Chain A
Amino acid sequence: MDDLEFLKTHAPATEPPRDATTARARDALLSRIDAEQSPRVVSAPAQEADRRTPRRSGRRVWRWAGVAAACVAAAAIAGAFLIDGGPARPDTAAASALHQAAAVALKQPSPAPLASGEYAYTKSEGLQLTSTAAEVQAQMSTHTPFVRETWMGAQSRLRETDGKAVFVTAQDRANWIAAGKPDFFGDPGTSVDSLGKYVPLDLPTDSGALFAELKANAAGHGTGLYNEMFVLVGDDLRETATPPAQRAALYEVAARIPGVELVGNVSDSSGRPGVAVAMTDDTTHIRQVLIFDPNTSQLLAEEHRVVAGNEFGWPSGTLVGSQTYLVHAVVGSNSEVPPAQK
């Protein structure tokens, strides 16, 4: 028996925490949570917390290292600057493209509500960056491809399949070798998660009312008011089967957000033509791009890339995460896959 085995076999015996202990600790945590939430409850509609749950469940958590934490301190400054009407103004070219997207959305037929037992299925593919939080010279960064499927309905479900990670650059691989080839990547595989009951979005279709609502929801969160509003627009467009009128209002809101710029005509990763708009977070130095179909106004894809000045020293344009929405369908269960996808 070596020393490690000895230590393991001589570990102190333990007992599960007593129910009263767990309950007391949970109560303390919930009290702290309540104290933190209380200022926002006052200003938000009573049903807000419930309404927001299902759409956030669709938000992709980009796995970039530590940027948010490092930038929190600066967020208040950036946010205040924008709120006070700094130099950022809505970009007229972007606004024009987004007004057009809104007009197209209003011409689309409204989908029938989901019948009992039906689910809105979405399949997407993308890449996500994983990076160690080490110094730039020692970083190891990889891109991991993934396939994501969601079934939104009474018992919503998420299935994600990660592929094999690849180093972003040859230097990343060299750093990994120099570090002794640590087990850094995780194994390719599939994970399944329950997302609970999906409650369709109930957004105002009046763009002025929606702007005010998203502004209220964004205040105090993220790295700046308008950045956060743009994030919320993206949240509401993806994997939510947003009705055309609400989608139109979301595009109208985006048209009014200072800092949104027109990228222009692009192709998504599957080759489909689209129109792209973007917003750069000057705190995180990450640019979020939304690509929509000019003929249907559906969200086709999104990307997050770093820009110059990021604290990790990554070259401008390094992909932090991308997701391309490939299939939308209504299916009869939370495990059914549309025929073309089998």
Chain B
Amino acid sequence: MARDEDARAIADSLRRPSAFEAVFTRHFAAVHRYAQQRVGVDAADEIAAETFLQALDHRRRFDTTQPSARPWLLGIATNLMRRRWRDEKRQLAAYARTLEVAVADGAAVESAAPPVGGVDRELAAALASLTGDDRDALLLFVWADLSYLEIADALDIPVGTVRSRISRARRRLRERLAPAPGAPDAECARTSFTSVYVHTALAEEPDNG
């Protein structure tokens, strides 16, 4: 894609709104994919559609120095998902429960194929333990593949804040995912603290929904 293609389409759309459809065509799947990772496919359908309506309404705010509209769109989607914390919480809890059932049935926790939904319960718990701001920055980085500068643009925060949020999020993840001191092995340690942690973390997270 040409570097200025989005900027050109959005600039054109200020006079000819139909030019904005090209932005939809280029980025709908990516926005939907990220929303699906965060809140599940049903909520993602709504989030992705609403993202482009809001983007159209606020397209004058798009910073035309940006080579792609994708970070801006993901930022809009992220804001929308903040109102859907219940969905995300439900999503994370569902992953955790799925794996707890699998463990109870004797299935291996660390199978070669990712479990349903792809997130294991330790990770679900660890993510749920993060603040919303830290989780947004981290997941835009690792799941949406945005750079620090793009995340800064997406979330409208300084790049230094992005750096500190991701750093803080990673520190918490490492704490949660590391073997417990004295545990006989990593798998046991992770399994032992997780079921307790999932419930406390999900219960403590502020509900913005």
A210 beta carbon closer than 8 Å to chain B: no
Nearest 8 Cβ contacts at the A-B interface: A25-B49, A12-B118, A191-B2, A13-B118, A193-B2, A17-B32, A33-B17, A7-B142
Question: Within 8 Å CB of A12, what residues of B?
Answer: 36-37, 95, 117-119
Query: B63, A56: Cβ atoms under 8 Å?
Result: no
Contacts A11-B118, A12-B37, A64-B65 given; does A191 touch B12 at CB 8 Å: no
Interface string of A301-341 (1 = CB under 8 A from B): 00000000000000000000000000000000000000000
A212 beta carbon closer than 8 Å to chain B: no
- Taking each of B16, B20, B36, B123, which has the highest tally of chain A beta carbons within 10 Å of its own beta carbon? B16
Chain B nearest CB from A162 CB (Å) reads: 8
A342 beta carbon closer than 8 Å to chain B: no
B202 beta carbon closer than 8 Å to chain A: no
Contacts A25-B48, A32-B53 given; does A69 touch B62 at CB 8 Å: yes
A114 beta carbon closer than 8 Å to chain B: no
Chain A nearest CB from B50 CB (Å) reads: 9
State the main secondary structure of chain B at its contact with A.
helix
Query: Once the chains are docked, how many angstroms separate the CA of A298 from the CA of B8?
Result: 25
Query: Once the chains are docked, how many angstroms separate the CA of A24 from the CA of B67?
Result: 28
B41 beta carbon closer than 8 Å to chain A: yes
Within residues 185 to 207 of chain A, which ones have a CB less than 8 A from any CB in chain B? 186, 191-193
Interface string of B117-130 (1 = CB under 8 A from A): 11110010000000
Question: Within 8 Å CB of A21, what residues of B?
Answer: 32, 45, 48-49
Question: Within 8 Å CB of A57, what residues of B?
Answer: 8, 12
Question: Within 8 Å CB of A69, what residues of B?
Answer: 60-63
B114 beta carbon closer than 8 Å to chain A: yes
A36 beta carbon closer than 8 Å to chain B: yes
Question: Within 8 Å CB of B67, what residues of A?
Answer: 186
Smallest CB gap from A36: residue in B? B17
Within residues 103 to 142 of chain B, which ones have a CB less than 8 A from any CB in chain A? 114, 117-120, 123, 138, 141-142
Query: B49, A49: Cβ atoms under 8 Å?
Result: no
Question: Within 8 Å CB of B61, what residues of A?
Answer: 69
Contacts A8-B142, A17-B32, A24-B49 given; does A32 touch B7 at CB 8 Å: no
Query: A63, B4: Cβ atoms under 8 Å?
Result: yes
Query: A221, B65: Cβ atoms under 8 Å?
Result: no
Within residues 14 to 54 of chain B, which ones have a CB less than 8 A from any CB in chain A? 14-18, 20-21, 24, 28-29, 32-33, 36-37, 41, 44-45, 48-49, 52-53
Query: B11, A184: Cβ atoms under 8 Å?
Result: no
Contacts A17-B45, A72-B60 given; does A49 touch B16 at CB 8 Å: yes
Q: Supply 9 further A-B pairs (C-beta < 8 A) apart from A10-B118, A191-B4.
A: A8-B143, A10-B120, A12-B95, A15-B41, A18-B45, A25-B24, A26-B21, A62-B64, A183-B149
Stretch from B75-83, B169-177, B192-200 that touches the partner: B169-177
Q: List 19 A-B contacts (CB under 8 A).
A: A9-B114, A13-B114, A15-B36, A17-B32, A17-B48, A18-B45, A26-B21, A28-B52, A29-B21, A37-B16, A37-B18, A52-B16, A66-B63, A68-B60, A69-B63, A72-B60, A134-B158, A193-B2, A221-B15
A179 beta carbon closer than 8 Å to chain B: yes
- Cross-interface CB contact of A53 among B7, B16, B177, cutoff 8 Å: B16
Smallest CB gap from B24: residue in A? A29
Question: Within 8 Å CB of B170, what residues of A?
Answer: 3-4
A136 beta carbon closer than 8 Å to chain B: no
Query: B2, A160: Cβ atoms under 8 Å?
Result: yes
- Cross-interface CB contact of B174 among A3, A10, A33, A133, cutoff 8 Å: A3
Contacts A11-B118, A17-B45, A191-B2 given; does A49 touch B36 at CB 8 Å: no
Chain B nearest CB from A336 CB (Å) reads: 21
